[in-house]
Amino acid sequence: MRLLRPLTLFLLLASTVLAASPLAGRWRLDVARSTALDGWTAWDLVIGVDGSRVTLQHDMQWRATKRTATNTVDTAAPSVVPDFFRVEQRHMALYPAKGGTTAVRAAWLDAGRTLRVEADTPIEISQGQALMRIYEEFRLIEGDGALVLIELHSTRPSPLVYRFTRVTETSK
């Protein structure tokens, strides 16, 4: 009981913080301040928080072509995600392996101001199949008005850094 009480308190506090997560909402890519994005000219990231489940919805656009994909992660326990979406995939022949599943771990850091996502995702390559480890941090910066996504790949020599600004009713 002595152990359970602080754990319960922690979970209660965490859920209270995250229920009103400052990351929740629609974020728009700041193209000029981000790593060059290939294949897409616009990217809205829509973050939703429901308890320990976090939805990362990607609204992508290139001219008239639009695509929406959502990765749902769980900060309470590791999860398995089918069709894990990566932004950088079509200018390189690195396709999500058909039927493959991605092991994902997620956690809140920095008092709920950073979401960490780690994924082991199977990739279809011209030589067959390979595994890519992905490490992502979604960090609030500049108050709550901007968000930075830092993404590392086990196979890439440099990080991908994307900056977003919050989409408000007035900025839509």
Binding-site ranges for other proteins (CB under 8 A): 35-36, 38-40, 60, 62-65, 67, 90-95, 98, 123-128, 130, 132, 153, 155-158
Round the CA-based radius of gyration of the chain to a whole number and report it. Answer: 17
Smallest distance from the beta carbon of 125 to other proteins, in angstroms? 5
Classify 127 as helix, strand or coil. coil
Residue 49 tokens, joined: 């928080």
Smallest distance from the beta carbon of 142 to other proteins, in angstroms? 24
Q: Which is nearer to other proteins, 14 or 130 (CB)?
A: 130
Q: Which is nearer to other proteins, 60 or 104 (CB)?
A: 60
Q: Which is nearer to other proteins, 48 or 135 (CB)?
A: 135
Q: Which is nearer to other proteins, 23 or 119 (CB)?
A: 119
Contacts of residue 166, defined as CB under 8 A and 6 or more positions apart, other chains included, come to 25, 26, 27, 28, 144, 145, 146, 147
Q: Which amino acid is at 168?
A: T
Smallest distance from the beta carbon of 111 to other proteins, in angstroms? 33
CA distance 134 to 151: 7
Q: Which is nearer to other proteins, 44 or 124 (CB)?
A: 124
Q: Which amino acid is at 152?
A: L
Smallest distance from the beta carbon of 137 to other proteins, in angstroms? 19
Closest by Cα among 152, 73, 78, 87 to 115: 73
Smallest distance from the beta carbon of 138 to other proteins, in angstroms? 21
